[in-house]
Amino acid sequence: MPELVLLGDEALAMGAIDAGISAAYAYPGTPSSEIMEYLQGAAPRYGDFVAEWCSNEKTAYEAAVGVSLVGRRVLVSMKHVGLNVAADPFINSALLAIHGGLVLAVADDPGMHSSQNEQDSRFYADFARIVCLEPRNQQEAYRMTLEAFELSERFHIPVMLRLTTRIAHSRAVVQTGERRAQNPLSKSEAKAGWMLLPATARKLWAELLEMQGQFLEYAESSPYNTLEVNEAFSDFGVITAGLGWNYYMENVEELPVRPSHLHISVYPLPVQKIRRLAGRVKRIVVIEEGFSFVERTLLGILAPQLPISGREDGALPRTGELTPDNVRGILGLGAKKGVESAGADIPGRPPQLCAGCPHRDSYDALNLAVRGFEHKLVTSDIGCYTLGYLPPHQAIETCLCMGASVGMAKGAAQAGFHPAVAVIGDSTFLHSGITPLVDAVASGADMTLLILDNSTTAMTGGQRTILSSSRLEKLVLGLGVDPEHVKLIVPLKKHTEENAAIMRREMEYEGVSVIIALRDCIQTLKQKRKKEAGR
Amino acid sequence: MKYDVILAGVGGQGVLSVAAVIALGAMRDGLLVRQSEVHGMAQRGGAVQAHLRLSDCTIVSDLIGKACAEMILSMEPIESLRYLEYLKADGIVISCSDPVKNIPNYPELEDIYARIRALPSSRLVAGGQLAQTAGSARATNMVVVGAASTRLPVKEQSLLEAIEHLFSAKGEKIVEINRKAFALGRDSTA
């Protein structure tokens, strides 16, 4: 079997290739981006599947459903908060008569390394009442992807693969196998199975509920959900889920006795296995990466039969990632201490905008433009430019979700606040900023939108944007913004005062104005130049 | 045998290449490897770390526990002190001596050197200078790998092959500069 050194993300992508996908869709987002990057890197070698970035996670998911409808296998990948954007097609697609295997790979970011929350996608799988698989290592990421496609076609449901940051971005050797042939083109014959009119949807929903027993049977018998019983020890039993297994196993050698242990990698929760464990122990310890999904289910609302310990009772940290160290306390193991160095604390080194980044010059001009207003509101969005909240710029005040800057400025303006300025990147604008701008134009809101167009999706590694910069201005004009108040500027140090004056004038204009600050991301530019020099 | 290394530095310094060379070299020697990386927002000029675990038996955790690392290998002096809680009592800190002063409150450099020298086991390497000698300041990270190489449980030849493999796409000249940087780093510890 061939061996490859792969990130968890890449192992999943390789699994999808070997599962015989015909297409893959995604929107970039840490820690999921490397799935599509790997597929795009590999696609030319195979030459027989599509691997594309889309405008956002919702459009990616909808394209994936279309592939499934005509019988072919498809992977759609995103980060956890991306699934909020794709939640509508995702939840509804659980009712559809999924035909070609449809697998959703979603990468959660506990600890919020590069995200605005640490939501746990297992709740989404449960919400949609579908099957979820959660690999512990890179090899499982590969194998489970193959299995997810089989399940999707066996049960006619979308299947979720849940990754978390540490497996997504950790490398190990992965053994790969044979590649399955792609499905032939064959449009689904389940006509009512793709139509969510109330009458048909009611029937499909009842069918999905009917299927739950089969999903449970699968989870109960899956070799990924392993129960090891120690008859001789009943003080406590351990349930691990996801990477909780890794950190438990890292410490288990230090325990005087090995407790009974159930590991859960396949959902819905294996009820019988949990009951078998609970029947043998006086207390249950739950170590799961992410939210307390397993623990809260066990706790319920009425008093549980056994004491249950985990994140909910504070025996594990309530927030953030698990580590080999922070699971020691709940196991009764003492803290480990490394080397110390006497002296002042080492100063933090937060991330910052690169030297030569166009956003720096845009923010200098913006700060100059708003100077003199008694009050000002600058909403913003998600990307490298969110770092403009930090010193030295401190130019922006909000970050909620993709595209929110536009709608929030519109709302504040309609509430009577002036000046209301929104700052958004080009890729974020194309993802979710267009529709709120349509709203703003429709209501004639007195706001100014500053689009920081660096011609790339910079934060996640410089993926190509869905629309080239040359077409952005036409798009804005097409939405009905007054051409007199659509301005193009070049954010360079030498233009700061001139750019500030343009911004100031547009803020003073009563109505919707849009300023596009156009200059290439310095990182993308460097790569482009390197490539050109290499040629 | 288990050998855990914390790799530290500032985003853009080539910490991931350091990890990649050592990991590739270790695999050539038949070791199992896990390499956990930092991607996304933190890469933009912030403190970055990578956990590299080498072993001849199964590795379960991608992260290294506290007091478990045999080595902290850093591209930057204050970054070498940031993760000491992960270092074993008899572990070693190896750091490039060139500071990256992209924060306003960067401490007095001599104080930082003194703190590194006061550790039970440490080495400071003039990475930038040796890399210049080798032909390019960009090869500083390979000087640092060279300086670590006498302690790592990986053969010198395997590391050199890994460098060749990793940089071969960039041309023979770049490979040669990086091999030389590695050699100068290694010699500096003699």
A82, A106 contact by CB (below 8 A): yes
pLDDT for the residue B41: 65
- Our CA-based measurement puts residue B104 at a distance from the nearest CA of chain A, in whole angstroms, of 10
Q: Do B37 and A323 touch (CB under 8 A)?
A: no
- Residue A323 to residue A319: CA distance in whole angstroms: 12
Q: Do A351 and B46 touch (CB under 8 A)?
A: yes
pLDDT for the residue A535: 53
- CB-based burial label for A50 (10 Å; 0-12, 13-18, 19+): middle
- Residue A87 to residue A83: CA distance in whole angstroms: 5
pLDDT for the residue B42: 62
- Residue A349 to residue A191: CA distance in whole angstroms: 57
Q: Which of A393, A470, A463, A409 is nearest to A441 (CA)?
A: A409
Residues of B in contact with A249 (CB under 8 A): 60-61
Alpha helices in A238-292 (DSSP H): 244-251, 271-278
Q: Do A246 and B60 touch (CB under 8 A)?
A: yes
pLDDT for the residue A345: 93
Q: Is the pTM of this model over 0.90?
A: yes
Is B108 a residue whose pLDDT tops 70?
Answer: yes
- CB-based burial label for B136 (10 Å; 0-12, 13-18, 19+): middle
pLDDT for the residue A304: 85
Total domain count, chain B: 1
Residue A21 bridge partners (DSSP): A73
Q: What is the dihedral of CA B127, B130, B131, B134, to 10 degrees?
A: -160
Domain limits for position B181: 2-187
pLDDT for the residue B128: 97
For A230, the token pair is 């120690």
What CATH number is attached to the domain comprising B127?
3.40.920.10
Residues of A in contact with B86 (CB under 8 A): 338
Residues of A in contact with B119 (CB under 8 A): 339, 341
- Our CA-based measurement puts residue A459 at a distance from the nearest CA of chain B, in whole angstroms, of 6
**DSSP conformation letters of A74-110:** EEEEEEHHHHHHTHHHHHHHTTS---S-EEEEEEE-T
Where do we find the tokens 């210049």?
B132
pLDDT for the residue A301: 92
Low-confidence ranges of chain A (pLDDT < 50): none
Q: How confident is the model at residue B37 (pLDDT cuts 50, 70, 90)?
A: confident
pLDDT for the residue A534: 62
Q: Do B42 and A114 touch (CB under 8 A)?
A: yes
**Cβ count near A185 (within 10 Å):** 10
Interface test with B, best of A171, A322, A390 (most B CBs within 10 A): A171
Q: Do B60 and A166 touch (CB under 8 A)?
A: no
Report the SS3 class of residue A473: helix
- Residue A43 to residue A37: CA distance in whole angstroms: 10
B49, B5 contact by CB (below 8 A): no
Q: How confident is the model at residue B44 (pLDDT cuts 50, 70, 90)?
A: confident
The pLDDT tens digits for A157-212 are 999 999 999 999 999 999 999 999 999 999 999 989 999 999 999 999 999 999 99
Question: Looking at A330-334, A460-464, B28-32, B142-146, which range is the least confident one?
Answer: A460-464
What percent of chain B has pLDDT above 90?
91
pLDDT for the residue A47: 94
- Residue A129 to residue A205: CA distance in whole angstroms: 10
Q: Does B39 lie at the interface with A, CB-CB under 8 angstroms?
A: yes
Q: Does B79 lie at the interface with A, CB-CB under 8 angstroms?
A: yes
**Cβ count near A214 (within 10 Å):** 12
Q: What is the dihedral of CA A500, A505, A508, A514, to 10 degrees?
A: -80
Report all structural domains of chain A as residue ranges with CATH numbers, in order of start. Answer: 3-181+195-216 (3.40.50.970), 226-331 (3.40.50.920), 358-526 (3.40.50.970)
Q: Which of A12, A173, A14, A40 is nearest to A106 (CA)?
A: A12
Residues of A in contact with B79 (CB under 8 A): 349
A14, A142 contact by CB (below 8 A): yes
Report the SS3 class of residue A356: coil
- Residue A94 to residue B156: CA distance in whole angstroms: 54
Interface test with A, best of B39, B108, B112, B165 (most A CBs within 10 A): B39
Q: Do B39 and A30 touch (CB under 8 A)?
A: yes
pLDDT for the residue A459: 87
Q: How many CB pairs under 8 A join A and B?
A: 154
Q: How confident is the model at residue B73 (pLDDT cuts 50, 70, 90)?
A: very high
Buried b vs exposed e over A102-131: b needs ≥16 C-beta within 10 Å? bbbbbbbbbbebbbeebbbbbebbbebbbb
Nearest-by-CA chain A residue for B121: A339
Distances (CA, A) of B118 to A174, A197, B36, B93: 42, 73, 29, 11
pLDDT for the residue B45: 83
